[in-house]
């Protein structure tokens, strides 16, 4: 029986660890490149008749919305719903004119 010293295998173990780190790094980079998401706004309400809506917006819009939400003391969801309601009402009026 041949005994293999840990020192003889240390180079192989080190290479294996390096390989695992490279693979992990590639996975992280792939995630950042391919799955990077812009600012997201998620509208959720407790009421069963309301729906959840997820919208992609730029970081600039998301930041402005957050600031406005703090200024007026409303949630981002409330502000988005108000804005959508106003827009849809105007669009409906324009359509019927």
Q: Tens digit of pLDDT for each residue in 74-92?
A: 999 899 999 999 999 999 9
Q: Is the pLDDT of residue 52 over 80?
A: no
pTM of the model: 0.49
Q: How far apart are CA 73 and CA 13, in angstroms?
A: 57
pLDDT computed for residue 22 by the predictor: 86
Which distant-in-sequence residues (6+ apart) come within 8 Å of 96 by Cβ? none
Q: How far apart are CA 86 and CA 46, in angstroms?
A: 22
Q: How far apart are CA 5 and CA 57, in angstroms?
A: 58
């Amino acid at each position: 029986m041949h005994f293999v010293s840990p020192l003889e295998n240390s180079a192989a173990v080190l290479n294996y660890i390096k390989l695992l780190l490279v693979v992990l790094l590639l996975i992280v980079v792939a995630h950042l490149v391919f799955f990077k998401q812009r600012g997201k706004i998620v509208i959720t309400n407790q009421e069963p008749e309301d729906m959840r809506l997820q919208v992609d917006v730029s970081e600039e819009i998301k930041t402005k919305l957050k600031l406005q939400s703090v200024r007026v003391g409303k949630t981002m969801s409330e502000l988005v719903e108000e804005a959508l309601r106003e827009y849809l009402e105007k669009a409906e009026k324009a359509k019927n004119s």
